[in-house]
A and B are shown apart, each in its own frame.
Chain A
Amino acid sequence: MTRVTLTVNGAPVTAEVEPRTHLADLLRETLGLTGTHLGCEHGVCGACTVEIDGAPQRSCISYAVACEGSAVRTIEGFGEDPVMAALREAFSAHHALQCGYCTPGMLVMARDIVLRLPDADEARVREEMSGNLCRCTGYRGIVRAIMAVLQDRR
């Protein structure tokens, strides 16, 4: 076992983990933060996307030990965030989720797009969201919701 110290949603965390434990398992199993979802566990589906040191990353192919000293923010850590609040509203209004399995990863990615690419058009939003798979919605609602938030901020 290896000791790892990091911050999760602003709070310091120290845990004993096996080096093979990926960050998502630390978050879900050890810390009980089950908002981070696991789909493919090899980087393809985006369900596990969280923010690591301010940038969205896959928690299934980032090992907990490799996040020593990092600041991790999961979907549970965006409660007070105004951009995320706007995205939550828009996802609801535009029917951007059904089962909700992909939604935490979608929201983390969507917030990154809104902040990093304020001028993005629909084609760019689709390109940027291509690494987040949804089995339910057909993506139109998701793209509309993100476009609505982008347009509101212009």
Chain B
Amino acid sequence: MKPAAFDYARAESIAEIGTVRVIAGGQSLGPMLNLRLARPERLVDIRRLAALRGTAEDATGATWGAATTHAEVEDGIAPDPTGGFLQGVARTIAYRAVRNRGTVGGSLAHADPAADWPVALALAEAVALTSAAREIPVAALVLGPFETSLAPGEIITAIRIPRPAAGTRHARHKLVRKTGEFAQAMTAVRSGPQGMRVVLGAIDAAPMVLDGIAAAREAIAALSLPPHRRAGLAACLDRAATEVGA
């Protein structure tokens, strides 16, 4: 339960990171190091890098530095253009003591198949800005369990969340065995002038984006998951759809 030895340095700038493995909050990497599921030779700490901290908001949406913590979203310190949807999601991630250190960028980059941000931010059509000057829609960032479209050494620097059109509503439900545990099923639904958008998560694969309730129902039926998790997805879909008035 102790990590293998590694070298450690704190990054002073994005440019100097190179292709070394980064650590942000360590709330996913820490457990993997302690369990020796990860044995990097060297880690560069980006948690306090000024370029990854801070948030901004304008008429078109909000930008969160990648090192924004889940708790900063929960507490409304990070502006939420979805009118409280993302704030509410933050409160359901892990436990407060984990949320105080874990970062949004780290969660997206880690790409746990049951994680909350890849689903909620894909629903909100958020975009990850990277150190390679790319803008990757969150829905295209996660390719599969623990797999992203980030190139080696490319880090997420910020997340851009567009302001939805007036009248847009969001809801998300997840099936968990215990408060704060990773989900067994997760469904997020958005209704509004742009039409319907549904994201299915915790499906042992990359989150799935669909353009309507009927399409989501068909997709759930076709997933090769244990019946209780398909039933969980369907139940979460029904509840979220009712909440957004679909």
Q: Once the chains are docked, how many angstroms separate the CA of A65 from the CA of B6?
A: 12
Tell me if B147 counts as interface (CB < 8 A to partner A): no
Among A8-16, A18-26, A92-100, A143-151, the stretch in contact with B: A18-26
- Given A42-B30, A60-B34, does the pair A131, B94 have CB atoms closer than 8 Å? yes
Q: Once the chains are docked, how many angstroms separate the CA of A150 from the CA of B7?
A: 45
Q: Are A61 and B27 in contact (CB under 8 A)?
A: yes
Q: Are A130 and B35 in contact (CB under 8 A)?
A: no
- B contact patch SS: loop
- A contact patch SS: mixed
> Chain B 9-41 against A: per-residue CB contact (8 Å), 1 yes, 0 no?
010000000000001001100110111000000
> Chain A 105-148 against B: per-residue CB contact (8 Å), 1 yes, 0 no?
00001001000000000000011101110000000000000000
Size of the chain A interface, CB-CB below 8 angstroms: 31
- Given A66-B47, A130-B178, does the pair A49, B97 have CB atoms closer than 8 Å? yes
Q: Are B71 and A55 in contact (CB under 8 A)?
A: yes
Question: What residues on A are CB-neighbors of B8 within 8 Å?
Answer: 2, 19, 63, 65-66
Q: Are B23 and A66 in contact (CB under 8 A)?
A: yes
Q: Are A43 and B98 in contact (CB under 8 A)?
A: yes
Q: Are B26 and A63 in contact (CB under 8 A)?
A: yes
Q: Are A131 and B26 in contact (CB under 8 A)?
A: no
Q: Once the chains are docked, how many angstroms separate the CA of A62 from the CA of B2?
A: 12
Q: Are B27 and A128 in contact (CB under 8 A)?
A: no
Tell me if A57 counts as interface (CB < 8 A to partner B): yes
Question: Can you list 29 A-B pairs with a CB-CB distance of less than 8 A?
Answer: A19-B7, A19-B8, A19-B43, A20-B2, A20-B5, A20-B6, A25-B2, A42-B1, A42-B30, A42-B34, A43-B30, A43-B94, A43-B98, A55-B71, A55-B100, A56-B100, A57-B97, A57-B100, A57-B101, A61-B27, A61-B34, A63-B8, A65-B8, A109-B97, A126-B179, A130-B179, A130-B180, A131-B95, A131-B180
| A contact residues vs B (CB 8 Å cutoff) | 2, 18-20, 22, 25, 41-43, 46, 49, 52, 55-58, 60-63, 65-66, 68, 109, 112, 126-128, 130-132
| B contact residues vs A (CB 8 Å cutoff) | 1-8, 10, 23, 26-27, 30-31, 33-35, 43, 45, 47, 71, 94-98, 100-101, 178-180
